[in-house]
Copies of this chain bind each other. A is one copy, B any other.
Amino acid sequence: MQNKPNKTEKLQKLVDIIKDVEVAMMTTIEDDGCMRSRPMRAVQTNPNGEIWFFTGYESGKSHEIQHDSHVNLSYAKPSDEVYVSISGRAYLSKDKAKIDELWSPTQKAWFPQGKDDPNIGLIRVEVEKAEYWDAPNSTMIQLYGMAKATLTGESAKTGDNQKINLK
């Protein structure tokens, strides 16, 4: 029977994977129900279950998340056979203090006028649940309720996946 990592290890492993892979495919839902994804690089990943991205305030994805806040963030690193699915809710923000905190010169490629660019915006993703697949066992590890910070335990399921509730 395989070793069962504890919940702190699983959460840390998830955060490590996200930071290693760096680029997420963020999937949103258009008004007609069609699902689109695009590569996005997070600027901050917080242990409390928030992931932050810069975005054009007037953009397809901004409109989509204002219409339906459900998003999926998938991370894939085929060379390591590592895959992550994060189910969450995305919120658009123009919070100046947070923009200041997260700004770096690399953002100038998208916001030539800098932090005060009229089109600068942020997407805050609140993580509701997460699953990850990790070679070589193709074991699926599931983490639920990451948006809330208190950890509670739950016994592992039988079979080849494990579930953890984070409440």
Mark out the residues of chain A between 12 and 46 whose CB falls within 8 Å of any chain B CB in the assembled complex.
21-23, 25, 27, 29, 33-39
CA distance A83 to B77 in the complex (A): 12
Give the interface size bracket for A toward B. Answer: 20 to 34
Copies of the polypeptide in the assembly: 2
Mark out the residues of chain A between 84 and 108 whose CB falls within 8 Å of any chain B CB in the assembled complex.
85, 87
CA distance A71 to B23 in the complex (A): 20
Verify if A76 is at the interface (C-beta below 8 Å from B).
yes
Verify if A55 is at the interface (C-beta below 8 Å from B).
no
Residues in B whose Cβ lies below 8 Å from that of A33: 68, 70
- Min Cβ gap A25→B in Å is 4
- Min Cβ gap A14→B in Å is 14
Q: A23-B76, A27-B35, A36-B85 are in contact. List 18 more A-B contacts (CB 8 A).
A: A21-B78, A23-B83, A25-B76, A25-B83, A27-B27, A27-B37, A29-B35, A29-B70, A34-B87, A35-B70, A36-B87, A36-B131, A38-B85, A39-B76, A75-B76, A76-B76, A77-B78, A79-B79
In the A-B complex, the 3 residue pairs with the closest CB atoms:
A35-B72, A25-B74, A37-B85
